[in-house]
Structure 1
Amino acid sequence: MLACMSSELQKQYENRDAHDMIVGLRGMFENQAQAERYNTSKSLFACRLTKGSPVSPHVIKMIGYIESLEKLGFPLSPELATDVILQSLPASFEPFILNFHMNSMEKSMAELHGMLKTAEESIKKSSSHVMMVQKDSKKRKRKGKAKTSDEISSSKPKPVGKPKASPAASDTCHHCHKTGHWRRNCKLYLEELKKKKGSKTSSSGTEKD
């Protein structure tokens, strides 16, 4: 037994019998295993994938912690190991997790790793499609032409004109000097205008002949 030990341990146990060596070594390495188990489990349960980070290195790291616990004599069941990995994922993987539970899938760590990489690709495609749609809608809004000043003025309601005033009974016509109407409404004045227009038309036709 001493030959298999390091020089420091040989000096420590050279004067002890086999039973004392076994008890001492067990106590020493059990304490180390307990501390290693604590640190490994702490790192495993604290793992969280940040949004936008690749999923593959994250899952590989968690599988490494799970395998380390198994080597220390504290293996996780496949169901619990799967839950721990799924719980470390961001909200973008919620549709995948929901589908995984609805179909009651039982996958190995390697199979789960491959499924998560495929899900990551589909999430990237859907998010890029949403961004393209948003950019396209913004461009369409910017392409709308602003109204010109003429269009703005034409769209405004036109002011209603004031109604024309009518002559009073005491008003006197400046043409026939009778009351009750104005010159523009005077029948005599209007008839004389027609006669003047007719005479001008006939005279202009005679000049052309």
Structure 2
Amino acid sequence: MASSMIPELQKTFEKTWAYEMNQQLKEMFQAKASKERLDVVKSLMACKQKPRAFICAFVLEMKGYFDRMESLNMIFDAELSINIILSGLQANYNQFVLSYQINGKKTLIMELYSLLQTAEQGIKKSDVPSTSAAPVLAVGHNAKKRKTSHSN
């Protein structure tokens, strides 16, 4: 165990039993891990899809946060992870979110990612104005008001 440490730590734990070494190391690094977990949770909860950003970047950023949390022994179940991702989507994905919830199918993050890519293609197609449609011109009638005189 000591051979994998930097020389300074090796000297510190030179005459320490493995159990004691483990306890002291936990104490040394526990506070740092706790702060890092808090920082990652803050970043995760503040993460929202940027306007006009591709869904790929957003989902991979969120997955990175979940993976980091897992490495810090804080694991979110798949359903909670999916709900957090869905809550960070832009408003133009509301129809997708509604359909996803109605469907009730349980998916993993990468399966959701694939579904979101398909939805993104549909959203981008609907955002492009059609060039084949004739423009609509509204013509209004501009009637002049006449002054009326009231004679007594």
TM range (shorter): 0.7 to 0.9
One-letter code of the match for 1:29? F
C-alpha deviation, 1:44, in angstroms = 1.1
C-alpha deviation, 1:127, in angstroms = 1.5
Report what 1:136 is aligned to.
135
C-alpha deviation, 1:2, in angstroms = 2.8
Report what 2:57 is aligned to.
57
Tell me the secondary structure at the aligned position of residue 74 of structure 1. Answer: coil
One-letter code of the match for 1:80? L
Q: 1:135 to 1:68 in 2, by over 3 A?
A: farther
Report what 1:67 is aligned to.
67
Unaligned ranges ≥5, structure 1: 145-209
C-alpha deviation, 1:133, in angstroms = 8.2
One-letter code of the match for 2:71? K
Indicate yes or no: 2:30 matched with 1:30. Answer: yes
Give, in whole Å, the separation in 1 of the partners of 2:134 and 2:34. 55
One-letter code of the match for 2:38? Y
- Residue deviations 1:62-81 (CA, integer Å, cap 9, x gap): 01111221222111111100
Give, in whole Å, the separation in 2 of the partners of 1:111 and 1:17. 47
Report what 1:94 is aligned to.
94
Give, in whole Å, the separation in 1 of the partners of 2:93 and 2:134. 24
Report what 1:103 is aligned to.
103
One-letter code of the match for 1:43? S
Tell me the secondary structure at the aligned position of residue 128 of structure 2. Answer: helix
Q: 1:39 to 1:133 in 2, by over 3 A?
A: farther
Q: 1:44 to 1:28 in 2, by over 3 A?
A: same
Greater share of helix: 1
- Residue deviations 1:144-167 (CA, integer Å, cap 9, x gap): 8xxxxxxxxxxxxxxxxxxxxxxx
- Residue deviations 1:61-116 (CA, integer Å, cap 9, x gap): 10111122122211111110000000000110000001111111211111100110
Give, in whole Å, the separation in 1 of the partners of 2:28 and 2:133. 63
Q: 1:25 to 1:95 in 2, by over 3 A?
A: same
C-alpha deviation, 1:135, in angstroms = 8.0
Which structure is higher in RCO with an 8 Å CA cutoff and minimum separation 6? 2
Q: 1:17 to 1:106 in 2, by over 3 A?
A: closer
TM-score (norm 1): 0.60
Q: 1:7 to 1:73 in 2, by over 3 A?
A: same
One-letter code of the match for 2:3? A
